[in-house]
Structure 1
């Protein structure tokens, strides 16, 4: 028995030493976890702060995209306005040509009246120029100017007279219509008053009728009870019946009058509404005619100036929008770079967090398993001690306990050794996998950065091309403005040289030739401007296409990165299992 107790004591001592070693390892692991806890907290805080930064950046990106969409809409509207102005200019050119034909015909008629000769069809055509074959004399020009002044005076007088007549007619018509409207309103008020009085009479008569019916009913009920006063009651009943019949006749008459008055009221309302509608329609037609005449008279003189101003303002607006578009593109590229950097950092933090969480879970599971085993062993030891103290004479139980202790000891040792070997191998494999993943991440970052640099270089090259086309467009615009100034100077010279006879006759042909040459140059400059505008639009389209391609490349890289990270996480989970 003593030898068996000694063996049991030695076994217990060995188990206690194993437990102490297990405690020492457990304390080391807990210390490592405590040391890693603040790092994990910081990483968690950084992770949450990065989410806030991402939310801010996404909001800024959405605002920038909204501004870009608004700018695209404004650019589309400006292009449509520019096309509309071009159409209006073409209409004005056609109107000028038609006016030129009319003026040519009037000049031919004046010449026919002055000389008595009928001009040919070629002379009345708009392409015919008097200065090509027969030069104008000073006398003809002065006479034509006097005639034009007289015609202008007559036209102005006719316009003023026409406007005054229209105003007088409108005023008189409006006053008459006002009077009719007031009369109809007074009639309506009278009819309303009559209707109100008739309604009051009707109500009073109905009340009297009801009262008389009550009296008749009471008298009929009292006939059965009072036979002595029968003759008096009969007379009263007859009188009441006569009164009821009279009241009924009056009510019928009043209802007929009421219906007649309502019909008259409806007729008056209909007629008044119809008259009001006709008056409003006439007023609208008169106003539209007046406005159309005024617009037609003022459009010819105002449209050219307004078109020039609108073209200049639209050009300045287009330039401003293009500059704003470039600025927004730069801001967008910067924000996207910051966004992708933050995403890469967040992914790294996620991976580190996942690995640390896996390690912590494994350690916690092992700790729980070891604590359960330790409790089981302690319980078994306590049972053994109690059984040894109480039952020293029971040897088979002791032998069984010894066998169980040896079996559990060997089993726990084998389990611990196998688990330690598995953990070491898994740790080594995980370290190798983590190193490989880090290398692949570095390669992916390098490729991503190289692609981003290529995209930025392409964008910068397209911006330079855009600036070059813009400078060329500005130079061509300045040339066109210089040509326009020369035209204006020549026109002023033509207007100033009307008083000089000999100079006018000599320089007319030269000026006309110069005008033709300048018109040809202006047409060429306008064609060049249109070509430059098409080039600018194509450059903008190319820049937008490059932006789209860059965004697609970035999306593809993000997809590849997410797929690889997902594969790595699946492999890590598989190794854990």
Structure 2
């Protein structure tokens, strides 16, 4: 009966061991079974002490020692695992400050980039101020040069007028007409030489075009006023004077003809009377004394007639002298009027020449403005190309920064994966510790059973067989488990060493890249300083509107990059939240496992209470930290969403501002086009007016030649 009971108990123990191996957790049934077997062995020990002597077995002690050695080896393996885990934790702690430094360096690089962008903006502002000053100085210089040119033209016209006046004074003094002086206008080389300008501004061109429009309008108004004066007042007065002179000439001609007829009649009467006197004198010598008295009376009558005729002849001679004097006065007055007309024609010609020179200057300035506009367009294209190259460099640098960021994120992800693996390894080690403790308890129970049941040989043999069977199985199981753990440990060590090497290489590469980026930033700063010095030396120009557009484009690009960065940060935060959720799930899983272990380990409750309390505290801390981080991440997400909304609003404002600027530029271009068309129309009108003035001058010259011809005819008639 006892043998059957022991066989049944062995079968039960084998079933329990197999169930423990299959489950790997609960040992309560096994402990209860061992307690039952011990009580049964103790109850049977009293009955079998008298019949069987106590014979200690050496084989059982050797097997127990072997079991102890195996347990010690397992404990040393656990300590090795602990040592490796501590080394891994120390390596992670050592790598943490390096990663923090890399993060700080990365944030510092962002600050350096912001400083460099601010310096670039300041340099652009200084360049715009310098361009404005240079534009103002060039505009003042151009204005002074134009005024000097106008003053020179006025002086030349005054010189010609003074020469004409001096010639007239000499003519009045001497009565002789001097040789005609052809005033030659000597143009200065300084006036002909154009000032070399390298840069012009569109705003200044607008001002210059407006001033040219004003000058052209003033000149046009002056020409119109002068034309109206000439056409209305002077020309009409000249016509009236010409008509009066023609009437006077006709009257003088009629009077001269009358007086000439009277003179001819008087001369004929005088000749007739002289003949009569001569005849009378001849007849007196031949006549007789009787006819003396009668002849005497006739002679007296003839003398009276002769005296009367002589008086009439004297009066007619006086009238003739008066007529000649009036004729001379008329010729002199006509000559003076002709001279005044010639002087007015000269002045009008000089004014027309001045207007022509001014129009030519306006045309030259317009051509120079067009050339400067083309040069400015080419310069703007060059600046745009430079800006594109700078943007490409900036994009390359940003791509490098983003690559570094992605690599850092990959390192963080790898770190998180390693931490997860370490957590899983820790969990496995905890399970192994529990299993080792269970095996230790089993061995202790077996030792106690062996010590207590040394007297019972058959039971001991069965137990030895059971122990050998369990020992072989446990040895095989432990050896396989140890081999697996050693392989896993070697793999983990190799992975950790490779990851450390890769991390060191990545850190070195990141440091080299950061040094290269800093060096490139310094080189760009030096290049920027050199460009700034060049700009200060050459005083180059650029349009303010294009600069504003560029600034807005850079702001848009920065906003887009910030937006992409914020989206990447949101993605990173979501990944971290997922990782924390996974950690929470793993922590909850660990809690469940620990609760099951606490329920199963009724014997080791006192030892496990401290572990449970520590784990609960750690879990609560982890929960609190997770809640804090979740709250922080949610607040940061909300803040980033607000910033994204603000950035979108700012982007919309910038887009509207850019559209308004584009519309302003279009309106300015339309105004320029309209102003150029107006200037061309004004130039064409001025040319038409010039042709009209030339025609009027030709007509005046024809009239003057006609008047000269009539005066010559009058002189010929008078001389005849």
TM-score when scaled to structure 1? 0.33
Higher relative contact order (CA 8 A, sep 6+): 2
TM-score by length of structure 2 reads: 0.28
- Say which one has the larger Rg: 2
